[in-house]
């Protein structure tokens, strides 16, 4: 029996692809603050509501966000707060790498 379940890793890769779009990353950052409507997300990201809806539908279909209806409004939120935490961890790692690269560039240029 293999140490790794190939199907599980395929599903994991598909989930990561869902998170690989910059707009979706920004939407996750917005949703870390709490649930929001499509209009609120679109306004915060300065994109068309139809574009926001498209991205949110993809994330909903892949289990990243969930919806709650309140009258005419549909509110989106993260399925699990760990999704936001994971994205913030990656964000911090990248900022650290950028700082190291900047330090290296400064030493070379000086």
Domain ranges of the chain: 6-109
Average pLDDT, the chain: 94
pLDDT of 47 reads: 97
Tally of CB atoms within 10 A around 108: 7
- CATH number corresponding to 6-109: 1.10.10.10
Query: Percentage of the chain with pLDDT > 70?
Result: 99
Q: Is the pLDDT of residue 107 over 90?
A: no
Quickly list DSSP for 42-67: HHHHT--HHHHHHHHHHHHHTTSEEE
**Is the pLDDT assigned to residue 104 strictly greater than 70?**
yes
Task: Pinpoint the alpha helices (H) of the chain.
Answer: 6-18, 22-32, 38-45, 49-61, 81-109
Using DSSP bridges, classify how beta strands 65-70 and 73-78 pair: parallel, antiparallel or unpaired. antiparallel
pLDDT digits (tens, 9 = 90+) for 19-54: 999 999 999 999 999 999 999 999 999 999 999 999
State the pLDDT at residue 22.
96
In the structure, what pLDDT confidence band is assigned to residue 1 with cuts at 50, 70 and 90? low
């Amino acid at each position: 029996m293999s140490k790794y379940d190939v199907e599980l890793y395929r599903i994991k890769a598909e989930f990561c692809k869902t998170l690989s779009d910059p707009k979706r990353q920004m939407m996750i950052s917005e949703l870390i603050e709490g649930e929001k409507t499509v209009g609120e997300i679109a306004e915060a990201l300065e994109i068309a509501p139809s574009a926001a809806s498209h991205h949110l539908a993809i994330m909903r279909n892949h289990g990243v966000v969930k919806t709650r209806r309140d009258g005419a409004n549909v509110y989106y939120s993260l399925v699990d707060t760990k999704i936001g935490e994971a994205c913030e961890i990656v964000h911090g790692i990248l900022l650290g790498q950028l700082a190291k690269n900047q330090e290296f560039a400064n030493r070379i240029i000086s």
